[in-house]
Copies of this chain bind each other. A is one copy, B any other.
Amino acid sequence: MLTKSTSEQDKQELRARIMEVARDLFVQKGIDAVTMREIAKRIGYSATSIYLYFADKQALLREICESDFAAMASHIKVILEIADAEKRLIAISDSYAKFALMYPNHYQLMYMTPHARYGISVDDEYKNNLEKDAYFQLRTVVNAVFLEGKFRKEWNDVDLIAQTLWAGIHGVCALQITMPKEDWINWRPVEHRLQMMQTLLKLGLTER
């Protein structure tokens, strides 16, 4: 406002700042509860300035989502270094859940918001990419364990296995985020629920 972001770098920085502030607000108050004017005030510009950097609110949201998908994948990526495939699988599941519960609102944007409704569509760059696609990471690890012959014979569809594992962890996290303390349910600690889910899935997959 005092000075204009004229250089390419300044513009990129301002763009990034808008995304940061917007994500914080989205995450804190919900997408529809955040106004463009509020975002603008926080970055010290007028509301309409945002439209110089993003086509509209939806586009802003979409970019935030994409960047969060990447953040999650990079959060998980270190796991892929682990040598033992089975340990890798446990670790990736832990890591996924940890991300979900540490950043519940990011997670909500990414995996609990009906994408079609908000016009979210992920760029191709994020698909089937070990760096940027968390599902692909999981599938890859599941495949490694599968190739080592660690699963019961009846489980021979790697995609099906990965998707079921995903659903299990997602279910625990999503319920925790949606109904964190509905008093009529005698909730057990989310860590216990996660632990149990992992154990059940593992027993079902591997024990003979």
Complex interface residues of chain A between 104 and 119 (CB less than 8 A to chain B): 108, 111-117
Let me know if A179 is at the binding interface, CB within 8 A: yes
**Interface assignment of A153: CB less than 8 Å from any CB of chain B:** no
**Segment of A36-44, A72-80, A170-178 engaged in the interface with chain B:** A170-178
Q: A163-B193, A166-B175, A196-B164 are in contact. Are A184 and B122 (CB under 8 A)?
A: yes
Categorize the interface residue count of chain A: 35 or more
What's the dominant secondary structure at chain A's contact region?
A: helix
A149 CB–B CB distance under 8 Å: no
Most buried by B among A127, A171, A174: A171
Whether B205 pairs with A200 at a CB distance below 8 angstroms is yes
Could you say which of B155, B167, B186 contacts A168, with CB atoms under 8 Å apart?
Answer: B167
Contacts of A169 in B (CB 8 A): 171
- Tell me if A207 and B207 are in contact (CB < 8 A): yes
Q: Interface code A187-208, partner B: CB below 8 Å = 1, 0 otherwise?
A: 1100011001101111111010
A160 touches B30 (CB 8 A): no
Could you tell me which A residues sit within 8 Å of B by CB distance? 29-30, 32-33, 108, 111-117, 122, 124, 126-128, 133, 135-136, 155, 157, 159-161, 163-164, 166-172, 174-175, 177-180, 182-188, 192-193, 196-197, 199-205, 207
